[in-house]
Amino acid sequence: VALTAAKGVLRVQLQCKNLHEYLKELSPEILDRLYNHPATCLAVYRELPPLAKNYVMRMLFLDQPLPQAAVALWVKKDSEKDHDQCVSVLSGLRLWHSQQLQGGLQGNILNPVFKDNLRIALLGGGKSWADQGDSLGPDRHARDVESLDKYALERWEVVLHFMVGCPSAAVSQDLSQLLIQAGLMRTEAGDAPCITSAGFQFLLLDTASQLWYFTLQYLNTAQTRGMDLVEILSFLFQLSFSTLGRDYSVEGMSESLLTFLQHLREFGLVFQRKRKSRRYYPTRLAITLSAGVSANSSSTAMGAAPGTGDSGFIVVETNYRLYAYTNSELQIALVALFSECLYRFPNVVVAQVTRESVQQAIANGITAQQILHFLRTRAHPVMLKQNPVLPPTITDQIRLWELERDRLQFSEGVLYNQFLSQADFEVLRDRAQGLGCLVWQNVAHRVIVVSPQGHGEVKRFWKRQKSHT
């Protein structure tokens, strides 16, 4: 989560990392243990850029290291950049490492653990990934895909409802604890938790990003709960390869995995009829989970959006009116975050996007970009026919309303002026620049502004200069 301070108001910006960025941050030992499971290797492989996939495939069945020069020859001269990017991705994920060849050259060899498990994943063999529910016999209470989807949507919406503050939504203590730790809500001294500005931004994301962000937060806190990160991650990847509509058994799952399964049940990622049930059904949310953030930013999420129920339902007109064809409390609450609701009918809510409502949303920490993303991803099919999807007047005006608040930019500093000579000025200016604390300078008038942190150092430097000359 990156922080940008804007004129005294702290705006927290959500950053959704994708799978690779998350993995890169893990320590090498954990990564190596992770690669012990074929499901993980396959999931990581899927997300690689095409050139990297090609490299991995070529080296998959080699048992000796390949000289780096040979690898560099695989691309044409003008694709050097792609090659370098590929190399950095593969090294960052520890999929390969360098080894000295006999002739003294540097060679590359695939991480042996990764190599073996990817082979298993591709060719079959090894342990079966998830116990099929066959051993338990046919399920009398079997659920079909539709009801699974409905269930997943319901559960996920309860979580979101809870964040928006609907009194009817109730979640377990664990879940609200997790939300607080993720920075999406905060609680003051025994009161019910209330939402933060990061939480607002989270609400406006589309479901896939929300799920992924949430899962990452969960994984980050997993260790503090005494759960094994590797186990959980492998189980997640296994889930993402399961078939929708098929049940799996909980045989052989450890205590912490069972707890994890209960949490997943609460988010709507799996369905289990009762807590003690011995079989579970993964829902669509779990399966699309590790496809994660990368695939969703383009329009793919819109038509077949799992978990949003209906496809797009918002129509935005050039007179700043907004029509939301929904009666879901949650969606209406989200629209009300940045617009003024005018009328409500059984199937439609009429709202208006005004300067006050947008600036109120911005004061709560939502950015114009997020509002526009929200409108775009939930645009009604009628809107999708026009290009661009949202009227330019509206998009420009929302951005302008946001920029209104940024007309003045403040930075604390210390002003140095009235230098006796140009040389003095330049010496001090260069020193400040070298320290990286020069905020602004005006050569013609011999004035510089230094940041408060750098001021101490620059002052000492100046005193030393003075005592020398």
Partner 1 sequence: MVNVLKGVLVECDPAMKQFLLYLNETSALGKKFIIQDLGDTHVFILAEVVHILQERVGELMDQNSFPITQK
Q: Which stretch binds partner 1 (CB under 8 A): 21-29, 199-207, 291-299, 413-421?
A: 413-421
Binders of partner 1: how many residues, by CB under 8 A? 36
Write down the least CB distance from residue 361 to partner 1, Å: 16
How far apart CA 202 and CA 438 sit, in angstroms, is 36
Write down the least CB distance from residue 374 to partner 1, Å: 20
Write down the least CB distance from residue 321 to partner 1, Å: 8
CA 296 to chain centre: 11
How far apart CA 315 and CA 333 sit, in angstroms, is 16
Q: Is 414 in the site for partner 1 (CB under 8 A)?
A: yes
Q: Is 467 in the site for partner 1 (CB under 8 A)?
A: no
Q: Is 413 in the site for partner 1 (CB under 8 A)?
A: yes
Residue type for position 4: T
Q: Which of residues 27, 128, 224, 409 is near partner 1 by CB under 8 A? A: 409
How far apart CA 175 and CA 195 sit, in angstroms, is 14
Per CB under 8 A, which of residues 379..408 are in contact with partner 1?
404-405, 407-408
Q: Which of residues 230, 416, 437, 454 is near partner 1 by CB under 8 A? A: 416
Per CB under 8 A, which of residues 6..45 are in contact with partner 1?
7-8
How far apart CA 210 and CA 410 sit, in angstroms, is 33
Q: Is 245 in the site for partner 1 (CB under 8 A)?
A: no
Q: Which of residues 15, 135, 442, 453 is near partner 1 by CB under 8 A? A: 442
Which of 374, 448, 362 lies closest to 405, judged by CA? 362
Contacts 24+ apart (CB under 8 A), 249-255: 249/131, 249/132, 249/133, 249/135, 249/136, 249/278, 249/279, 250/131, 250/277, 250/278, 250/279, 250/280, 251/131, 251/135, 251/278, 252/131
Alpha helix stretches (DSSP H) within 73-196: 80-92, 112-123, 145-164, 173-181
Q: Is 436 in the site for partner 1 (CB under 8 A)?
A: no
The residue written with tokens 């260069």 in the block is 430
Q: Is 419 in the site for partner 1 (CB under 8 A)?
A: yes
Q: Which of residues 411, 422, 433, 453 is near partner 1 by CB under 8 A? A: 411
Q: Which two tokens stand for residue 178?
A: 């997790």
Per CB under 8 A, which of residues 278..337 are in contact with partner 1?
319-321
Closer CB to partner 1, residue 203 or residue 351?
351
Q: Is 438 in the site for partner 1 (CB under 8 A)?
A: no
- The CA–CA distances, whole Å, from 120 to 32, 91, 123, 212, 239 equal 16, 22, 5, 27, 17
**Contact positions vs partner 1 (CB under 8 A):** 7-8, 319-321, 342, 352, 354-355, 404-405, 407-420, 424, 428, 439-440, 442, 445, 447, 449, 452, 459, 462
